[in-house]
Amino acid sequence: GFHMKKLIVGNWKMNGDLASNAALLQTLMPKITSATCTVAVCVAAPYLASVQALLSGSAMQWGAQDVSQHEVGAYTGEVSAAMLRDFSARYVIVGHSERRQYHGETDVHVALKAQRALAAGITPIVCVGETLAERELGQTEEIVKRQLAAVIHANGHCISEIVVAYEPVWAIGTGKTASPEQAQHVHAVLRAQLRAASAHADKVHILYGGSMNAANAQQLLAQADIDGGLVGGASLKTADFLSIIAAAS
Ligand code: PEP
């Protein structure tokens, strides 16, 4: 809602290295204070230690891009929520469309991942969104509601502790952005669904993601139910990311 401090999260995806990460954060850090919107970066797991060392004591927060659905054990290659918590990760993205598309994640996996994060005291950023084909078939509402319903079903009692990100798949990395009206329409649908599940739904940040940039951020963020952004490509460019942060502050 209009009353909330907005949240801007950079999703670095599988980009960067130790040196470029440090250079980017050292430029951003002094520009981000308690007076600006809340800002976080979600980084590849191997960089959590160095990002934690850089950002500790700053106003910037950090997180990861995925978490295992399992708690502990024989799951080679997986990273648990407890491991993310060891590096003071504040957020973890779950159910990003790239995970759903390329790694076979289903609504059930995403719900379990959100549950693991919440149990470890980490805020899951739950991504939902329709493909272009689904939008053209008029299925947008049905798809995003089904995706969020799975997470609500598994996490009903603490659903107000999550962050939701509406990311139309056709807008991710394509330079095509949902119009502010298209995005607000879906955000209102998601808000209504959260309200039906929780008395505290109005404190849930619902982020927009999909080619958010310096030019379109202001209008998107002016919508009643757009409480921030999940930013991919533009979060790797200092000037663009700072413009989005300024639009949200
Ligand atoms: C994303 O992957 O979460 C995203 C929104 O990417 P982009 O901003 O590059 O479209």
Burial of residue 184 (CB within 10 Å: 0-12, 13-18, 19+) is buried
233 is in an annotated binding site: yes
Among protein residues, the one whose CA lies closest to atom 6 of ligand 1? 232
- Read off the DSSP letter of residue 13: -
Per-residue pLDDT reduced to its tens digit, 27-54: 999 999 988 999 999 999 999 999 999 9
211 is in an annotated binding site: yes
Helix, strand, coil percent content, the chain, rounded in steps of 5:
50, 15, 35
Q: Give 92's strand partners.
A: 64, 124
- Give the ipTM: 0.97
pLDDT, tens digit, for every residue of 142-197? 999 999 999 999 988 899 999 999 999 999 989 889 999 999 999 999 999 999 99
57 is in an annotated binding site: no
Q: Please confirm, yes or no, whether 167 is among the known catalytic residues.
A: yes
Please tell me the distance between residue 98's alpha carbon and the centre of ligand 1 in angstroms. 10
Q: How far is the CA of 129 from the centre of ligand 1 (A)?
A: 12
Residue 125 contacts residue 94 (beta carbons within 8 Å): yes
Tell me which residue has its CA closest to atom 7 in ligand 1: 232
Please indicate whether residue 120, judged by its CB atom, sits closer than 6 Å to ligand 1: no
Q: Is 198 helix (H, G, I), strand (E, B) or coil?
A: coil
Query: What is the sign of the dihedral through the CA atoms of 96, 94, 3 and 246?
Result: negative
Residue carrying the six token digits 């009643």: 224
Q: Report all structural domains of the chain as residue ranges with CATH numbers, in order of start.
A: 7-248 (3.20.20.70)
